[in-house]
Structure 1
Amino acid sequence: MASDAAFLDVPGPHGTRQMRVSSPLRVLWPASGITKLDLARYVVEVGDAFVRANGDRPVTLQRFADGIDGEQFFSKNPPKGAPDFVRAVPVVYPSGRSHSQLVIDEPAAAVWAVQMNTIVFHPWPSRAENADNPDQLRIDLDPQPGTDFDDAIPAAIELRAVLAEVGLEAFVKTSGNRGLHVFAPIEPAREFLDVRHAVIAAARELERRMPKQVTTAWWKEERGERIFVDFNQANRDRTMAGAYSPRALSHAPVSCPVEWSELESIDPRTLTVLTVPARLASTGDPWQAMSENPGTIDQLFGWWERDLANGLGELPFPPDFPKMPGEPPRVQPSRAKHPEAGA
């Protein structure tokens, strides 16, 4: 029914836009009772910080037609009928194929994405007009079975020290699940493979310092009860939930930027669609100044080359990537064929 809609006035850089939200009472998070209209209001309330973190970047939308318990799909290309203020830019995928991808430039564009049943926003680490060269170094600290959020905290703190040694200022946010995401602004001077190698270099250094707590092992059977540094999130077209993006989990958590000073006391389960707007209004955005002092990955890349010289080579790529130069076999160790002893 045409009347089954709500309208929101959404301020932005080009004035206030009135945005239509159909099926506003559709429940997206059943356990929390949070509706589509609640989500639209959320992205308006956090709009400036959301766009500052995720705007001017190619973005993948994770969409759920019937809430988080229903079917989901990922949307990259601009659909027909998109508003004229929602733009797209050409990007190149790992296959070499080029295609247009959406960009969120203002809060009204985020509301439009919610109207299309988007719950999770996955921005690229590069800007729209320079999509091949990341301006963010991103490191995903992923707790493995037997570990949890509290185990990721000391790893993040030590990672901050590692990055400081190479002249990079680290920022941290909750993943919205059990992990942490550590970002550092960088000059967009190198392409994705170089940035991936810089991430691997930082990850290996962190693993050397915390071998019992941290691992770079790609194969799950080798990780143990440690924090996995997911270096493959640094690849082209590999993204993580953006800052202030909701997550599709039962309590409607948000991937929320936090201050380093509060990291050891924060409970990520309290950072939700219902609570983050008030927190942001009260304490401000910990990431507001992130882009002001970008560093370079030159020293990290030097570490990568040092490790190469010492026999530490390339690490496996995701299974959907083409075979990459220097990559080890994509076979988990327990399935690899080993020559018989003495053969």
Structure 2
Amino acid sequence: MGEAVELDAGGHTIRLSNPDKVYFPERGFTKLDVARYFQAVEPGITRALHDRPTTLERYPDGVGGESFFQKRVPKNHPDWLRTATISFPSGRQADELCPADLGAVLWAVNLGCLTFHPWPVRSGRLDHPDELRIDLDPQPGTGYPEAVRAAHELHAVLADLGLRGWPKTSGGRGLHVLVPIEPRWTFTQVRRAAIALGRELERRMPEEVTIKWWKEERGERIFVDYNQTARDRTVASAYSVRPHPRAQVSAPLRWEELDEAVPADFDLATMPGRFAEHGDVHADIDDHAYALDGLLEMAARDEREHGLGDLPYPPEHPKMPGEPKRVQPSRAKRRTD
């Protein structure tokens, strides 16, 4: 697999073992190719991860091997790596990697990390998200074109509320839209705002969009995954490499690019060229921070006028006050028959 190579990363020397190990057999991309890719998009990936507790999605033997999520940094990590102590919904804690520079990214790549999953918080405000993340998730029978239509309507909803989002491909068939917010609200409040946003989008596109948590109720629609805003739930960062046979990446986009963009066009080989030509098209996202007051007022109105309260949390999350029963509608019906 070749002798180890040393890579310079902002004053750090990163030793990359087994650089010739093939990570993507279909394309022939190696571990070194992954490292070179992140070097090529350095300003983008470091901007996306900077100062955020980050879970690593590791594929030490490539996309054909076993994988796992690593939340805790190894005890023998370099002393220059930054970490942050985060609290899970269970009450347990862990020290997570908090990338500050390319050195941290390449250190993780050496461990087999392809996809970075940053929390929507910074190390100084761990309980107060500074991003509202909207995940437009295609369900069976739908795909990227349907996600694009939903994203355009979402763009209009955000504009009506005085908000702006930054879209990116998920690296698969879906889209993520990131809204930078003031770090004044809790995870619970931000999730409530996401639910209100999803409900408004569902009202405008009832045949094309759903916020139903249970898969049996979603149909062939785009699911607004509001639970990606729950504590300890994350989405792949911009510029992350996804475990797709074609080595697709999560690509930041401009709104005017959505209709022409094809997720398969953004991969380990093509993104460096795009980045060299256009730079980080989300570079200005951190220059903005919006208020959630409008969405929280919408949530309160939904509950007051329509009886629309909370929705189910993910199964691993502790039961929350005001949360409805976590039982599939079909099972609930059988129990009452």
Using the size of structure 1 for normalisation, the TM-score is: 0.95
Partner of 1:158: 153
Q: Which residue, 37, 44, 48 being the options, matches 1:49?
A: 44
- More off after superposition, 329-338 vs 198-207: 329-338
Q: Secondary structure at the match of 1:257?
A: coil
Question: How many equivalent pairs are there?
Answer: 336
1:9 matched to 2:5: no
- Displacement after TM superposition at 1:326 (Å): 1.2
CA distance in 1, matches of 2:225, 2:74: 31
CA apart distance, 1:202: 0.4
Q: Which runs of 5+ in 2 are unaligned?
A: none
Q: 1:232 aligns to what?
A: 227
Other-structure match for 1:33 = 28
1:23 paired residue number? 18
Q: Within 2, Cα distance between the matches of 1:305 and 1:136?
A: 21
Q: How does 1:158-307 map to 2 (within 5 A)?
A: 158-307=153-302
Cα offsets for 1:188-219 (capped at 9, x unmatched): 00010000000000000000000000000111
The secondary structure found in structure 2 opposite 1:313 is coil
Give 1:61-210 correspondences, 5 Å limit: 61-210=56-205
- DSSP 3-state at the match of 1:258: coil
Q: Are the aligned partners of 1:168 and 1:294 in contact in 2 as well (CA < 8 Å)?
A: no
Question: How far has the Cα of 1:285 moved from its partner?
Answer: 1.2
Partner of 1:173: helix, strand, or coil? strand
Deviation at 1:18, TM superposition (A): 2.3
Corresponding letter in the other structure for 2:17: S
Q: Which amino acid aligns with 2:166?
A: F
Matched, 1:318 2:314: yes
| CA-CA distance at 1:17 after TM superposition | 2.5
CA contact (8 A) 2:89 2:317 kept: yes
Q: Displacement of 1:98 after TM fit?
A: 2.2
Deviation readout 1:291-337 (Å, 9 max, x if unpaired): 11211111100111111112001100000011111111111111114
Output one character per residue of 1:132-177: Cα deviation in whole Å (capped at 9) or x when no partner: 1000000000000000001100100111111122221110000000
Cα shift readout 1:109-143 (whole Å, capped 9, x = no counterpart): 10000001111100001111111100000000000
What is the aligned-residue identity percentage? Answer: 51
Q: Secondary structure at the match of 1:164?
A: helix
Residue 71 of structure 2 contacts residue 94 of structure 2 at CA under 8 Å; is this kept in 1?
Answer: no
> Structure 1 residues 85 and 147 mapped into 2: Cα distance closer, same or farther (>3 Å)?
same
Deviation at 1:340, TM superposition (A): 6.4
Deviation, structure 1 residue 274 = 1.0
CA contact (8 A) 1:25 1:36 kept: yes
Measured after TM superposition, the shift of residue 80 of structure 1 is: 2.5
8 Å contact 1:45–1:277 — kept in the other structure?
yes
Which residue number corresponds to residue 332 of structure 1? 328
Give the drift of 1:7: 1.6
Distance 1:79 1:339, change over 3 A: closer
Paired residue secondary structure (2:133):
strand
- What is the RMSD computed on CA atoms of the aligned residues? 1.3
Structure 1: unaligned runs, 5 residues or longer: none
Output the CA distance in 1 between the equivalents of 2:143 and 2:194.
Answer: 22
Q: Cα 1:88–1:339, aligned 2, differ >3 Å: closer, same or farther?
A: closer
Give the TM-score taking structure 2 as reference length: 0.97
Q: Map Cα deviations across residues 227-279 of structure 1 (whole Å, 9 max, x no partner).
A: 00000000001001000000001000000101111110011101001110110
Conservation of the 8 A alpha-carbon contact between 2:84 and 2:96: yes
Alpha-carbon distance in 1 for matches of 2:29, 2:335 = 57
Mapped partners of 1:232, 1:44: distance in 2: 32
1:3-50: CA deviation from partner (whole Å, max 9, x where unpaired): 72112222x3xxx32221000000111111110000011111111111
- Partner amino acid, structure 1, of 2:23: L
Task: Classify 1:325/1:34 alpha carbon distance in 2 versus 1 (closer, same or farther; 3 Å).
Answer: same
| Aligned residue type for 2:316 | D
SS in 2 for 1:139: strand
Q: Which amino acid aligns with 2:12?
A: R
Spell out structure 1 runs of 4+ moving beyond 6 A: none
